[in-house]
């Protein structure tokens, strides 16, 4: 009888120990590891994130949309275009070197007044994606777009010639010049949609989507 009681006690102890070990093996950390499945996690490239569409981009955490590059005049105009979205502190800017960029312009003109008159004439031809640029030493020109490659700038100049805009020429940006990128952190969906719409009004500008740079 005593032997049977002892065997029963030992069996209960073993059963209790097994239950504790089983719970430890299936702890919160263990269950989380099963749920995460690291082998199925992959990091998306900027192009893949951009392809998700405005709604999914807006739902991603700690994601920034960069728009540009812009000359100072275009940056001011682009920020004004974004003001109705009331993004506030979500918008910032960073400067990038313009050494590897090309731009299309109308050539130097003596005085801002002459440049403004020419700009008005171009707008009358429905060419709105332009800006007056101060070249220094009393000379001004009209920028008709900044591009990352000479080929893209050449295509823009040819298109302008076809629309009756003579004198549009392609030139490299001056070494050391800086352009601005507008950065929108964790953008709401309407902002992503609007920026994609506005991009067409700023020839040579790109929208890049990716992780936000450390502040």
Grade residue 25 by pLDDT with cuts at 50, 70 and 90. very low
Q: Is the pLDDT of residue 113 over 90?
A: yes
Q: Is the pLDDT of residue 4 over 80?
A: no
Q: Are 146 and 105 in contact (CB under 8 A)?
A: no
Report the C-alpha gap between 37 and 178 in whole angstroms. 45
The pLDDT tens digits of the residues spanning 140-177 come to 999 998 887 888 889 999 999 999 888 899 998 766 67
Longest distance between any two alpha carbons in the chain, whole Å: 116
The overall average pLDDT reported for the chain is 76
Domain boundaries, the chain: 46-211
Report which of residues 17 and 86 the model is more confident about: 86
Average pLDDT score over residue span 12-24: 49
**DSSP string for residues in 55-71:** HHHHHSTTEEEEEEEE-
Grade residue 57 by pLDDT with cuts at 50, 70 and 90. low
Other Cβ atoms closer than 10 A to 155: 15
Report which of residues 65 and 17 the model is more confident about: 65
Instruction: Please report where in the chains the tokens 């000359």 appear, as a residue.
Output: 71
What are the start-end ranges of the H helices in the chain? 2-25, 28-36, 46-50, 54-59, 72-82, 112-124, 150-162, 189-199
Q: Are 132 and 73 in contact (CB under 8 A)?
A: yes
Q: Are 200 and 207 in contact (CB under 8 A)?
A: no
Report which of residues 155 and 128 the model is more confident about: 155
Fold designation for 46-211: Alpha-Beta Plaits (3.30.70)
Q: Is the pTM of this model over 0.75?
A: no
pLDDT on residue 162? 92
pLDDT on residue 138? 85
| CA 58 vs CA 62, 203, 209: distances in Å | 10, 25, 10
pLDDT on residue 166? 86
Grade residue 54 by pLDDT with cuts at 50, 70 and 90. low
Q: Is the pLDDT of residue 208 over 70?
A: yes
pLDDT > 90 fraction of the chain, expressed in percent and rounded: 30
Q: Are 63 and 209 in contact (CB under 8 A)?
A: yes
pLDDT on residue 53? 58
pLDDT on residue 28? 46
pLDDT on residue 119? 92
């Amino acid at each position: 009888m005593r032997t049977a009681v002892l065997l029963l006690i030992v069996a209960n102890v073993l059963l209790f120990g097994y239950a504790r070990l089983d719970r430890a093996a299936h702890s919160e950390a263990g269950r989380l590891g099963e749920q995460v499945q690291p082998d199925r996690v992959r990091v998306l490239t900027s192009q893949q994130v951009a392809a998700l569409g405005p709604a999914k981009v807006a739902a991603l955490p700690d994601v920034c949309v960069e728009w540009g590059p812009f000359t100072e005049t275009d940056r001011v105009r682009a920020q004004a275009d974004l003001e109705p979205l009331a993004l506030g502190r979500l918008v910032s800017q960073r400067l990038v070197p313009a050494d590897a960029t090309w731009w299309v312009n109308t050539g130097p003109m003596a005085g801002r007044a002459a440049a403004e008159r020419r700009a008005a004439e171009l707008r009358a031809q429905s060419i709105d994606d332009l800006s007056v640029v101060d070249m220094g030493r009393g000379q001004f020109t009209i920028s008709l777009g900044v591009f990352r490659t000479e080929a893209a700038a050449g295509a823009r100049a040819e298109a302008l010639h076809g629309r009756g805009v003579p004198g549009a020429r392609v030139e490299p940006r001056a070494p050391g010049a800086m352009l601005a990128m507008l950065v929108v952190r964790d953008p709401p969906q309407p902002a992503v949609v609007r920026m994609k719409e506005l991009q067409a009004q700023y020839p040579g500008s790109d929208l890049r989507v990716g992780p936000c740079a450390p502040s």
